[in-house]
Amino acid sequence: MHDKPKRSRAIALPNGEFRTRATEYLDFLAAWVKKPRQTASVVPSSRYLARLMVGHIDPLDGPVLELGGGTGVFTRAILQTGLPAEKLEVVEINPAFARGLRRHFPHVSVLETPAQIVSTVAAGEPGQYQTVVSGLPLLAMDRHMHADILSESFRMLRPGGSFIQFTYSTRPPVSRDVLHALDLEVARVGQTVRNFPPATVFRFHRRGE
């Protein structure tokens, strides 16, 4: 009596989801080859990381800013919270990524402008936004850039608003000196090893809020 051949237990993804992930990976890899310091990773962020990044968003509340939209992993997760597309603005200075975001999310406003001056083109007024979700590679930037990005972000955020940032380190990517100068505090949201590389998420907020 012959043994039956063992079957693979690979899990098949729906065709649409597989195509989306494959496209995101290829787009991200191409961007990394062109500008590795700007892109920071050879693969897009995972959906597990995305869930940590959007946990503070209230879909019935004010508008949201996303910095560094990339291939749209966080953009998709933000919209899956139920936030209306017209309440989301995504900043992306890479032209190829910006085109992809407009193609995949036609009702979301995509801003091709540096994060440090987003207030000059954003639809909402300073002080109106509930959350800033940042996919920017802060570890590849200096402290002056950190100060400029955080200063502009908190100009857009209302009282009690949050700046959410992930990093491939277990420590916050912004120095205590910069936080002190801007009167900000930081708290660890969570960590996931189901990302490459493993990532930690931090919430930045105004001191005392």
Domain ranges of the chain: 44-206
- Compute how many other C-beta atoms are within 10 angstroms of the C-beta atom of residue 83: 21
Long-range Cβ contact pairs of 126-129 (< 8 A, separation 24 or more): 126/155, 126/156, 127/155, 127/156, 127/157, 127/158, 127/159, 128/62, 128/63, 128/156, 128/158, 129/62, 129/63, 129/64, 129/65, 129/156, 129/157, 129/158, 129/161
Task: Give the per-residue pLDDT at 27.
Answer: 56
Note the pLDDT of residue 10.
Answer: 40
pLDDT of 145-178, one tens digit each?
A: 999 999 999 999 999 999 999 999 999 999 999 9
**Average pLDDT value over all residues in the chain:** 86
Q: Answer whether residue 40 shows pLDDT above 90.
A: no
- Give the predicted TM-score (pTM) of the model: 0.81
Strand partners, 131: 64, 162
Structural fold of domain 44-206: Rossmann fold (3.40.50)
Q: How confident is the model at residue 59 (pLDDT cuts 50, 70, 90)?
A: very high
